[in-house]
Amino acid sequence: MREQDPKKRIKNFNEVPYGYNEEEAIAEASRCLQCKKAPCVGGCPAEIDIPAFILAIKEKRFQDSIDIIKNTNTLPAVCGRVCPQEDQCEKECVLLKTGKPINIGSLERFAADWELENRGDEDVVAGAAAEGAKIAVIGGGPAGITCAADLAKKGYAVTMFEALHKPGGVLTYGIPEFRLPKDIVFKEVDSIKGLGVDIKLNYVIGRIKTIEQMREEGYKAFFIATGAGLPYFMGVDGENLNGVYSANEFLTRVNLMKAYKFPEYDTPVNVGKKVAVIGGGNVAMDSARCALRLNAEKVTVVYRRTEQEMPARLDEIHHAKEEGIAFHFLTSSLGIKGDEKGNVSSMSCLQNELGEPDDSGRRRPVPIEGSEFDMEMDTIIVAIGNGSNPLLLDSIDGLNVNRWGNIEADEKGQSSVEDIFAGGDIVTGAATVIAAMGAGKKAARGIDAYLKEKI
Amino acid sequence: MHKIVRKEQLNPEICLVEMEAEDLSRAARAGQFVILRIDETGERFPLTLYNFDQDKGTVTVVCQAVGVSTKKLCALREGDSVLDIAGPLGHATDTENIGKVICIGGGVGTAEAYPIAKAMVEAGNDVTIIIGARSEEIVICEDDIKKFCDKCHITTDDGSYGRKGFVTDVLKELLEKDKYDQVFAIGPVIMMKMVSEMTRPYGVKTLVSLNSIMIDGTGMCGGCRVKFSGELKFTCVDGPEFDGHLVDFDDLMQRQTRYKVEEDEAMCHYKKQCKIGLGEGK
């Protein structure tokens, strides 16, 4: 797919891949073998009828194509951009053997963008309030949106509560504009209003209302999808120095609050000349690439294992490298040093070698004695993951959580409290957008079955 | 959108804003805060609640115009609206009957100490209040406070009203004369630090309400982290109240300066916008 030139794109926040034009999309769709058994569908957590939507593109029936996708997937423009297709549908494609599987994600993006462009900018007309049982979806990220949409389609009266001032969860505050433009997220989220979902922003459930109060207000079931919570810090000296960010804070400032447009937007972000990003996941890649676009001279990803163990998508690592991000593998941070004003001046590090595999199956980093060294830095972004947020969960009696504070839910998404279902990062810990959407779908079915039995 | 139903200029710097927020007004308790966003390009910024009225479905904040966001809020008029309010956030103050209590408010912090002092009185505590301000015109909420509390001391830095000096001067005398069960302080970080240092040798439990820089207010960003007894705590979900004897105030003061340069730049930009008629305010 055509992309913005790396030298140019590091100076802007515009989307990196341009997306297919009609001609390119039809050409790609025509390569699809239209397999009878369609193994690709089995690889899709959103259960999209992939051959059917691709056939529709090939035959220039673009509206049909997006309708087919939307039968099962509420966020196709998002998924077409951020799903790790290489590990899902495209991994199952029969053409993988030839080294050129169908670019399913790009085709999905094409169909979704075609509709967004042709739908125009008018607001979605709010759908009629459904007459089914009242259901509260708590959290407006990918899991919540998917669950809300699926339940609304089944005729339930769904209200989705979001703590922030914009919906979308990680799609809005976390993933940068150049990977996922926000107007696309908002347009796509808006479409669930058309299904009759009521979206309440700035609602921090657990504080403004408890689950118990909401039961009294007539809510018959709950879906908790509050996502990953409190950011982890490394626990080393100097983490409170000015210039140290959690990736959550850094990305929220840049993406949700649009600090890259400061001072047109009021929220600042402070990026120095030499930036270190600690961690090896997609969040680390996003942070590094944002820092580069905010005029850092050098951005270094510091990861304690090797490139093979990095959890980030190959595509993201590739894009980061293209843009000139440096990588320090097998390196751990020992501490951060500051100047007399309390600003970060350097980071002390330690070299590792790989030892035996750990619980995750990845080889464990083992420190090499005497390998300490310092790197001059003025900004450090800590992207080593999040723990569970106790704000809502602590207020619910009888809710079982595991030792990491994540909600325990069964295969239907049901928790230890019968009217409470849960899914997404609050159950699994940090995972992908599509995994969260899959959990939202599953829980919507679970809630439907539960309510049918109950009422 | 939250319509402003009452706006009062308490002095040249500080204004009171009462806004419609029905569900929020029902859930709010003394000591909690809200996150506001004035307009589409605005920041999210925290303010401690001054009052909440379930019958009217409103919440009230008192705000000192020091940065762009607070200036934007103070420039709004009755009938205008604030775009977003999220809350109530943070833990509410524990307002049981514990005995003899001193509540200290410094500057705009007086308005934040007000609901706590009031709740303390309602719980049956013997409450003494100390209000501190730079000068007479910065003293706020005096009449409101005297309605429920007859032991109210006022200090000003320049001696233009009440006693000349700092809140700690009065605090020291009180602690010398009598035994107190708890001290509560809310105001500038340096004041909360001095109060905590002063009470430490007397062994009086001292609570402070921190005003760290934060974005979401729900635990997600970690920007409001403070060093507390050697551990990292988040002001938004663990606080905003902490035991003042265990807070690392120097660390907090340093963290509060981290956007100084950008804040000045934002103010310059805001003033320019005002000049060409895009913004309101001074």
Mean pLDDT of A128-139: 86
pLDDT value at residue A124: 61
**Pair B101, B118: CB distance under 8 Å:** no
Q: Work out the pLDDT band at A119, boundaries 50, 70, 90.
A: confident
For A256-272, the pLDDT digits (tens) are: 999 999 999 999 999 99
A214/B contact by beta carbon, under 8 A? no
As beta bridge partners, residue B132 has B106, B155
For residue B88, the chain A residues in CB contact (below 8 A) are 207-208
For A210-238, the pLDDT digits (tens) are: 999 999 999 999 999 999 889 999 999 99
H helical segments located in A120-255 = 142-153, 170-173, 182-194, 211-216, 247-251
For A358-395, the pLDDT digits (tens) are: 887 888 899 999 999 999 999 999 999 998 888 888 88
pLDDT value at residue A112: 95
Task: Please say if the pLDDT value at position B277 is more than 80.
Answer: no
pLDDT value at residue A267: 94
**Pair B115, B34: CB distance under 8 Å:** no
pLDDT value at residue B98: 93
Residue of A nearest to B216 (CA): A164
For residue A207, the chain B residues in CB contact (below 8 A) are 27, 87-89
As beta bridge partners, residue A407 has A401
Residue of A nearest to B45 (CA): A267
For B28-41, the pLDDT digits (tens) are: 999 999 999 999 99
For residue B237, the chain A residues in CB contact (below 8 A) are 230, 389-391
Lowest mean pLDDT among A99-108, A279-288, B264-273: B264-273
CB contact under 8 A, A230 and B234: yes
A382: closest CA of chain B, how far (Å) = 11
CB contact under 8 A, B218 and A163: yes
Size of interface A-B (CB pairs under 8 A): 124
CA distance A334 to A345: 14
Residue ranges of B 81-110 with Cβ closer than 8 A to chain A:
83-89
Task: Please say if the pLDDT value at position A113 is more than 70.
Answer: yes
pLDDT value at residue A132: 87
Task: Please say if the pLDDT value at position A430 is more than 90.
Answer: no
Q: What angle do CA A145, A148, A152 make, to 5 degrees?
A: 140
> Token pair for residue B108?
């705009």
Task: Please say if the pLDDT value at position A437 is more than 80.
Answer: yes
pLDDT value at residue A214: 97
Task: Please say if the pLDDT value at position A455 is more than 80.
Answer: no
CA distance A147 to A168: 13
Please indicate whether residue B211 or residue A128 has the higher confidence score (pLDDT). Answer: B211
Task: Please say if the pLDDT value at position B281 is more than 50.
Answer: no
Q: Work out the pLDDT band at A129, boundaries 50, 70, 90.
A: low
Best of B34, B68, B73, B221 to mutate (most A CBs within 10 Å, chain A): B221
For B98-148, the pLDDT digits (tens) are: 999 999 999 999 999 999 999 999 999 999 999 999 999 889 989 989 999
pLDDT value at residue A127: 66
Task: Please say if the pLDDT value at position A411 is more than 80.
Answer: yes
Residue ranges of B 248-277 with Cβ closer than 8 A to chain A:
251, 254-255, 257-259, 261-263, 265-266, 268-270
A164/B contact by beta carbon, under 8 A? yes
Best of B39, B212, B218, B251 to mutate (most A CBs within 10 Å, chain A): B218
Task: Please say if the pLDDT value at position B85 is more than 80.
Answer: yes
A402/B contact by beta carbon, under 8 A? no
Does the N-terminal peptide bond of residue B88 adopt cis geometry, omega within 30 degrees of 0? yes
The predicted complex's ipTM stands at 0.93
First to last CA, chain B: 24
Give CA separation, A138 vs A194, A205, A255, A429, in Å. Answer: 19, 7, 22, 17
For A21-71, the pLDDT digits (tens) are: 999 999 999 999 999 999 999 999 888 999 999 999 999 999 999 999 999
CB contact under 8 A, B222 and A233: yes
Q: Work out the pLDDT band at B272, boundaries 50, 70, 90.
A: confident
Across A93-239, the runs of DSSP E, i.e. the strands, are 134-138, 157-161, 198-200, 219-224
CA distance A315 to A3: 12
pLDDT value at residue A360: 79
Nearest CA-CA partner of B253 in B211, B207, B217: B211
Q: Work out the pLDDT band at B278, boundaries 50, 70, 90.
A: low
pTM for this one? 0.94
Mean pLDDT of B1-23: 95
Nearest CA-CA partner of A243 in A364, A307, A338: A338
Mean pLDDT of B241-247: 97
Q: Using a pLDDT cut of 70, give the percent of chain A over it.
A: 98
pLDDT value at residue B282: 39
Q: Using a pLDDT cut of 90, give the percent of chain A over it.
A: 85
pLDDT value at residue A123: 53
State whether residue A172 is helix, strand or coil: helix
Residue ranges of B 163-202 with Cβ closer than 8 A to chain A:
none
**Pair A111, A69: CB distance under 8 Å:** yes
pLDDT value at residue B232: 93
Mean per-residue pLDDT of chain A: 93
pLDDT value at residue A128: 65
